[in-house]
Structure 1
């Protein structure tokens, strides 16, 4: 596939070496050297820095500045050629100006649970290694041209035009699509497009280059202009447009490949897509090797590779089959004649469907590795959405520039300005209609059954094997068929059907989430509780799920983790009581429509406002409500939960005293018999927020004994972890779930002292992140490799 492409081979070798160094245990190229050097700066330390502003954007009413080639000096040392970010209320500092600044060092936070957003990895992948906060002073210097900051001001002026003529979410959509300005992009609209598989239209990409720059180049060529003139003009427009849109990874990739195409046209050489892609990849990675772990980089280059090596061969095979059908028919058969419009329409639709399906299969592992789910209807939705994007882009760009030149949105419309303003509104009305249809269509698709298939995270080897099989199907089947039918005529129809069937089969295999092995995951939710349990025999359980220290814990912690684990639904969700640090996330998930088959409560749970809200949401979602009393058992073949507390008809003014307490038992039964194999027998106790009095009563009841795992009650409060209770349970492992900083003083020194005397090992989610127990032992999330 790359025979004779010497430059391509060299470039791909460089990319391969950087990839291995970034993902393998041994960083032999030092791609993490700058990131690791930045960690030596102490948090909160005053730092003086000197560097160059290369980008700025508005985020949450603040202006976020990106600084590169910086020298940083602190009281304990200095760094050179590093990069960082800082925020100001003002956008007064121009792009590409030299900066002097003083502030406090702040390191990016790392994710403490799987699936959650990792700020450290994200910014490191952009070549940014820390943030300066509490800015004490700053000044900058630049020449008169840089001082004008034209690209940024034009971008803001065009955004004002859109905001003055379109509803908020549509203006944000158009700003993102046309000029790469994402500050006004509505979060709900972005999430909607992500869920249905058309979020790629929000990024400045190759589509923009083909619509704008390639259109200019071809227009000039048709007018008889020479290669050099056309190339220089189109190339200049591409570079200017890239600067205008902020220079994202996808736009740099697209513009770079376009410039190589123009160079090939001017010099009379043939353009080679893999070589162009590899060269631009090297250009980006040699500047910042950690781009190899950036989602935009992976998606942008992955899409090009998918198109060239997977989609185009499939599309060509289908096109050749249609040509074969047309030629094999009799001359009087008008349906297959070249003049038949119906035939051309059918061929166009089928060809587009093959292209869309090919992209779905080619990008499937990349999508699921990043989002841990995939939209099943995106194959068909993109057929409708993509043909109208050139219209949105072209019309939106023209309207934006006309409005910006006329001062629309910045001054009163009087005199001659009324005429361009009217034209802009007419043009944007076209965009409004298309965007509105996108929203309606996406909302409809999102409501369809199975619109988003939760797949979970797969190992790197799974991704490699998937693509090897994919290449075997696309290329290997042709070779095998030619070898079998040597000298005979190949049946193209059967070849296409076999390939289609094989592609559908491996896609289904990838989409089918594995059951997983037995495990208990005590998540880091801050000041709260959240415990995921996989039975190992196909059932998933959750205990509590809330926080009072983390905003939107359901959206940003619980749901991402569940998607990472491939849990599109929960079979049984136990709620110990109705305090928000135990249920706030569950309420969020129910509001978002996440599937919970059964919610299990204590039979003695007191009434209250939170309980009423939970019951109403459960009824709306079709979730069953089950009540457990002492002695009731809930579970599956391998895993069972026994209610050991509260006692029947108990009442209390403190909801903590009536927490549902569960004794979990896991036994790995054989496949054909209910006899345990005797190798795995695991006991765990979960007690919500009960205090010492309730723990003492449970210990005296004889219902509990030694356990392998104790989820420490009430986040390590000094009023819990009774000595007699701990003595009976004598846990091998105790886990405390709480925030590092909380107003309750959790965990207390008294509780820790009692636990240290009774438990084998103690783990804290505030230090260890997610704590997992399975057949292999205990795993702490943030003790893993952070880079």
Structure 2
């Protein structure tokens, strides 16, 4: 498949070497040198002074992000040179290529603290940015004198303003993203909608845009008799300008670069080879920044090219050959029809060829992209194959209407642009309606979890071998089998995971027999803890639904993430509460959302048992002896009525508990004493320290009764409550328990193999 393609072979070798250094245990190429220098030299929160040059800017969340390169950062310890960073500013008036001097506070990018979390440090390093400077005070700005580098930026904003003046705000955001690559107006609901159904690629400037805008222009020039050279120069200049105009995303740079190679081949009279052009662009990009190899856009963009070449195109050619054989066999049948029957037969055949070809081609691309999507998102959109066929054909129209309407709006007036852009309203409405319909279908998104590297290494050779297999029936059965293999649910083994949710609790328990539990799930220090911490973890684990979600009580640091997951339609079969839980507004809201989403609410009394063949939870508190406190304002102490659970794991189903744990929510020493004195819980292997290690919890008598081997304290490093207290920690240590802290170790996992922390 790579015969004679020397550049491709060189590119592949370079990519393998860089990937080994970037993903392997040892960075032998020194790819992370700049990042390591920042980690060693700069301290989070320290004041610095910096000089550098702005090379890019974009609007995000109503602020302008300025990206600075070739910067010097001066601290009390010395100077860090040749580094890069970004800062936020409330004005976009500073031109690109300006040299600036500023003061500010260092903010390092945080690495993930739980499995599945987005690695923001990895992302920014992959685009050559090492840190952020906050609370910026500009000291000096030297603007470029010769050229106006902001012209394309202002032109882009003008297009966006035309869209906002002529169509609905939400539709303007979609059109701005599709036609001019500006995502500043794109709301999160729209982004999540298209990403959820596998259409996120239509919101990015890519090969589709280049083929429509630049290739169309080149073909028109050639049709009107313009020479190869002049047509190529003009179309190439437009492509280059369009890339700058749309922000120069990785996918657009790859597509425009390959188009320029196509034009060069036309001028030189050589044949164009897509694979060679892709290899050349990969080399160019990786020489510029080797860490692009870890960038999702880079992987998806080049992954799509390889999927088209090695999988989609051969499958499509095989299908067309099969159709040709069929048509030859049907010629005798056609002779028995009249003229009208012959015309109908031709129409049906052409329609079948078109739809079948699109399905096969889309299936081939999906086959190639599956491992990348699973690696990046741990889920796959089930109906993307069909949706691409329904929506991609209208994209050229939407793009052309957007560009022509924007140009006319700027040059002639928004009244004329309104006429041109009016069809965009119907096209976007069609896209959204179709996407919402498919998103609402059962199993529209399949959470498949994280698969090992070996799984992917075996997958691709099998796909290539099946494509080369001569018997079509076995070929497609095999490919569909491999396709469905990704959707097989992963039960996993027995494990308990204490997520680092900051100041709060979030505990996942896998029974090992296909039943998934969760205890609490909220935070007061992490915003959107459900969306950014809990849900990514569940996707990483391949958990498509939680069977039983226990909520100890209704405080925000225990329930905020659960509300988020319910609102995002994550499936929670049952929410389990204490039968003694006080009625309040938060509980009423939870019950309302649960009813709307089809989630059952279960209540446990003291002594009730809930579980599966290997694992069971027993409610030990509140009971008739519950110590309930009521304030002078009539408010009940929610912590005192926390649902307390004894977990027992029976590995061999022999009736003997192999591992036990106690989870007591936010109860205090008074409730712990009641539990100890009544003998409700005896020895346990694991203790989730009550109330995040508060000094009013972890009673000595209670701890002596349980005598845990391991204790886990879930809290934020910085919190206004002083958790964990020295007193509580000392009392836990006195009973011989080994203490783990999420604030230090990140996610803490316990399984049959032992205890593992995300941050060693």
User: Given the two structures, how large is their TM-score scaled by the length of structure 1?
Assistant: 0.92
Q: Tell me how far 1:268 sits from its aligned partner.
A: 1.7
Residue 163 of structure 1, CA deviation: 0.7
1:349 aligns with 2:349: no
Deviations 1:360-400 (A, max 9, x none): 22211211222211111111111110000000011101111
Distance 1:460 1:36 in 2: 26
State yes or no: 1:35 paired with 2:14: no
3-state DSSP of counterpart to 1:529: coil
1:470-509 aligned within 5 A: 470-475=463-468, 477-478=469-470, 495-509=471-485
Is 2:380 aligned against 1:374?
Answer: yes
Contact conserved, 2:496 with 2:749, CA < 8 A, in 1? Answer: yes
Instruction: Give the distance between the partners of 2:736 and 2:454, measured in 1 at CA.
Output: 38
Q: Is the 8 A contact 1:712 1:734 kept in 2?
A: yes
CA positional deviation for 1:224: 2.2
Distance 1:172 1:260 in 2: 32
| Alpha-carbon distance in 1 for matches of 2:645, 2:714 | 17
SS state at 2:226 partner: coil
CA distance in 1, matches of 2:144, 2:558: 57
Counterparts of 2:147 and 2:406 in 1: how far apart (Å)? 23
Q: How does 1:380-779 map to 2 (within 5 A)?
A: 380-406=386-412, 420-475=413-468, 477-478=469-470, 495-648=471-624, 650=626, 652=628, 653=630, 654-669=637-652, 674-675=653-654, 681-779=658-756
User: How much has 1:551 moved relative to structure 2?
Assistant: 2.1
Paired residue for 2:338?
Answer: none
Is the contact made by 2:162 and 2:414 (CA closer than 8 Å) also made in structure 1? Answer: no
Closer, same or farther: CA 332–630 of 1 in aligned 2, 3 Å: closer
Q: TM-score normalised to the size of structure 2?
A: 0.95
Query: Is the counterpart of residue 780 in structure 1 residue 729 in structure 2?
Result: no
Residues 209-218 or 772-781, more deviating: 772-781
Query: Residue 633 of structure 2 aligns with which residue?
Result: none
Alignment partners' CA distance in 2, 1:289 and 1:777? 37
Gaps of 5+ in 1: 407-419, 479-494
SS of residue matched to 1:117: coil
1:331 to partner: Cα distance: 5.7
Asked if structure 2 preserves the Cα contact closer than 8 Å seen for 1:95 and 1:146, the reply is: no
Please give the alpha-carbon distance, in whole angstroms, between the structure 2 residues aligned to 1:421 and 1:160: 10
Which whole-Å deviations, capped at 9, do the CAs of 1:682-738 have from their partners, x for residues lacking one? 111100011101111212222322222111000111100001111122222111111
User: How far apart are the structure 1 equivalents of 2:396 and 2:58?
Assistant: 25
Deviates more, 1:124-133 or 1:199-208: 124-133
Moved over 6 A (4+): 334-339
Deviations 1:560-598 (A, max 9, x none): 211111111111111111222111221222233221111
Q: What SS does structure 1 have at the residue aligned with 2:658? A: strand
Q: Distance in 2 between matches of 1:286 and 1:729?
A: 59
Relative to structure 1, is the Cα distance of residues 649 and 610 closer, same or farther in structure 2, using a 3 angstrom cutoff? farther
Worse overlay, 78-87 or 187-196: 78-87
Structure 2 match to 1:121: 122
- Counterpart CA distance in 1 for 2:82 and 2:459 is 39
Deviations 1:600-638 (A, max 9, x none): 111222222222222222222222222222222111111
Q: State which drifts further: 623-632 or 714-723.
A: 623-632
Give yes or no for contact 2:18–2:29 (8 Å, CA) kept in 1. yes
Aligned partners of 2:503 and 2:715 also within 8 Å = yes
Aligned partner of residue 136 in structure 1, secondary structure: strand
Distance 2:5 2:736 in 1: 63
Shift of the 757–397 alpha-carbon distance from structure 1 to 2, 3 Å rule, reads same
Q: CA RMSD in A?
A: 1.8
Does the 8 Å CA contact 1:97/1:146 hold for their aligned counterparts?
no
| Gap change, CA 1:333 and 1:688, over 3 Å in 2 | same
Distance 1:650 1:701, change over 3 A: closer
Structure 2 CA distance for aligned equivalents of residues 173 and 662 of structure 1: 48
How far apart, CA to CA, are the structure 2 residues paired with 1:656 and 1:336?
Answer: 79
2:365 and 2:218 mapped to 1: Cα distance? 27
Contact 1:659 1:688 survives alignment (8 Å): yes
CA gap of 1:614–1:314, structure 2 versus 1, over 3 A, is: same
* 1:414 paired residue number: none
User: Once the 2 structures are TM-superposed, how far is the Cα of residue 101 of structure 1 from its aligned partner?
Assistant: 2.7
Distance 1:146 1:777, change over 3 A: farther
**1:91 aligned residue:** 92
Instruction: Give distance in 1, aligned partners of 2:236 and 2:342.
Output: 42
Contact 1:604–1:651 (Cα < 8 Å) also in 2: no
Q: Does the 8 A contact of 1:329 with 1:336 survive in 2?
A: no
Distance in 1, matches of 2:593 and 2:293, equals 42
Contact persistence 1:326–1:336 (CA under 8 A): no
Asked whether the 8 Å contact 1:56–1:95 carries over to 2, the reply is yes
Query: How does 1:187-336 map onto structure 2 within 5 Å?
Result: 187-330=188-331, 333=334
Whole-Å separation in 1 of the counterparts to 2:485 and 2:104: 52
Contact conserved, 2:97 with 2:149, CA < 8 A, in 1?
A: no
Q: Deviations over 1:447-474 (max 9, x none)?
A: 1111111111112222222212211211
Give the deviation of 1:339 after TM superposition: 8.7
Partner of 1:663, secondary structure, is strand
Match of 1:546, SS state, is coil
Q: Secondary structure at the match of 2:218?
A: helix
Question: Whole-Å Cα distance in 2 between the matches of residues 52 and 208 of structure 1?
Answer: 30
Query: Could you tell which deviates more after superposition, 572-581 or 614-623?
Result: 614-623
The residue matched to 1:146 in structure 2 has which SS? coil
2: CA distance between counterparts of 1:606 and 1:45?
Answer: 46
Give the deviation of 1:666 after TM superposition.
Answer: 1.0
| Partner SS, residue 340 of structure 1 | helix
SS of alignment partner, residue 782 of structure 1:
coil
The unaligned stretches of length 5 or more in structure 2 are 336-340, 631-636
Deviation at 1:759, TM superposition (A): 3.9
- 1:102 deviates by 2.8
Q: Deviations over 1:82-130 (max 9, x none)?
A: 2110111111211123333332221012221222222211111111001
Shift of 1:222: 1.7
